[in-house]
Structure 1
Amino acid sequence: MSSPREDETGGLPPQIASRLRDLRRRSGLTLEAAARRAELSPAHLSRLETGGRQPSLPSLLALARIYGTTVSELLGETPPERDPIVRTDRAEAVTADGWTYRQAGGSGRAMQALRVHVPHGPRRGHDLVRVHPGEEWIHVLTGQLRLVLGETEHILRPGDSAHFDSLTPHRIAAAAPEGVDLLFVHTLLRSTVAELCIGGPVPHAP
């Protein structure tokens, strides 16, 4: 079975490949640093940036998050006129490491809203504490959420919310066997320090 980060053979158009390289450089990341955060080898990312490979969706999602942009903007697509309404039947689910994400807000905004299902049990990198610029707001829809802020652990139940500065070291997990469903909002601030708490690729320990 292929890795979710494995990309397909065939190349990207030159303008998109060069855009990947330009976005990485504008983010202040070396090829090695960006590849590590995206869980790619430097050689693989180099092939993407030179048009030698076509990226998979997980790779695009990872790179977009690292560079503080969207997949559409990463590919140079002109966004359509913004629609303030997000219909539930148009919110395609994306699963990564067992977590399921659905868009709950518009694209190209200063913040991103997601509906997230967090299953119970270990997730790769779940013990890593995340720190990054911005703010986060989490609202529990169903289930129970374990939220660690700094050295304090909180259990949130349906109807509970948390709003905190993302520079506070934080970690989240489902606190009950049925998992937990959340509304999650975060500011899309670009950071070369760490990825976003939810949905970002797991950073490697130094």
Structure 2
Amino acid sequence: METGRRQPTLDVLIPLARTYQVALDQLVAAPATGDPRVHLEPHRHSRGGIVVPLTRYPTRVQAFKHVVGPRTPHLVSHEGHAWLYVLAGTLRLIVGDDELELHPGETAEFDAAVPHWFGPANDTAAEILHLFGPHGHRAISRLDHQEA
């Protein structure tokens, strides 16, 4: 396969993608899909995991998809406001003196100036959507419909 004399099958490609922790389409160079103006470029985060920027607005609210692997808690603080939505796994979130576990479908919102950290609650990666307002932008809920 490395010499180009043999075409890989899915039986070979899927384990390779898992081993190298990359999407299958990165191995087979699939054509870009979706909005041609947006090219999702995953990169490894310095504190562990993979980050995929979903927007390119450095002065406005930014959206990211994170796959956060196991890591040691290290609280940070900085200007801004954050929202987290758990897609898969269990996320451990520490904000100031508060610590909680978030499960798929659960969210959290906090001022990033408060020391905080998030990562998987166990040895399994957690997948989240992360919105970040660099200048303290906050969500404005226009409809808060509660089921009876």
> Residue in 1 aligned with 2:134?
188
Distance in 2 between residues matched to 1:86 and 1:103, nearest whole Å? 14
- Tell me which structure has the larger Cα radius of gyration: 2
- Structure-to-structure mapping, 1:30-45, within 5 angstroms: none
Residues 78 and 113 of structure 2 are in contact (CA less than 8 Å); yes or no, is this contact kept in structure 1?
yes
Q: What's the CA shift for 1:150?
A: 1.0
Give matches, 1:11-50, under 5 Å.
Answer: none
- Report what 2:42 is aligned to: 93
Q: Which deviations, in whole Å up to 9, do the C-alpha atoms of 1:61-107 show, x marking residues without a partner?
A: xxxxxxxxxxxxxxxxxxxxxxxx867x8311101343101111233
2:55 paired with 1:114: no
Q: 1:131 and 2:77 equivalent?
A: yes
Hey, what's the Cα distance between the residues in 2 that align with 1:107 and 1:86? 16
1:86 and 1:167 map into 2 onto residues whose CA distance is 34
Q: Is the 8 A contact 1:115 1:182 kept in 2?
A: yes
* Residue 176 of structure 1: how far off its partner (Å): 2.5
The answer to which structure has the higher strand fraction is 2
Decide which of 84, 107, 113 is 1:161's aligned counterpart: 107
The normalised TM-score by structure 2 is 0.60
What are the ranges of 5 or more consecutive residues in structure 2 without an aligned counterpart? 1-33, 137-148
The answer to whether the Cα contact below 8 Å between 1:86 and 1:105 also exists between their aligned partners in 2 is no
Paired AA for residue 155 in structure 1: E
Partner of 1:103: 53
Q: Which amino acid aligns with 2:39?
A: R
Aligned AA (1:112): Q
CA–CA separation in structure 2 for the residues paired with 1:151 and 1:138: 18
Report the CA distance shift for 1:86/1:154 in structure 2 as closer, same or farther (over 3 A): farther
* C-alpha distance 177-134 of structure 1, shift in aligned 2 (>3 A): same
Identical columns (%): 26
- CA distance in 2 between partners of 1:176 and 1:86 (Å): 35
1:145 is aligned to 91
The answer as to whether partners of 1:133 and 1:167 remain within 8 angstroms in 2 is: yes
SS of alignment partner, residue 105 of structure 1: coil
What is the Cα deviation at residue 189 of structure 1? Answer: 3.3
Return the structure number with greater helix share. 1
Conserved in 2, the CA contact under 8 Å of 1:145 and 1:172? Answer: yes
Q: Aligned pair 1:172/2:118, yes or no?
A: yes
> How far apart in 2 are the matches of 1:114 and 1:86?
16
Whole-angstrom distance in 2 between the partners of 1:142 and 1:163: 18
**CA deviation after TM superposition for structure 1 residue 157, in Å:** 0.2
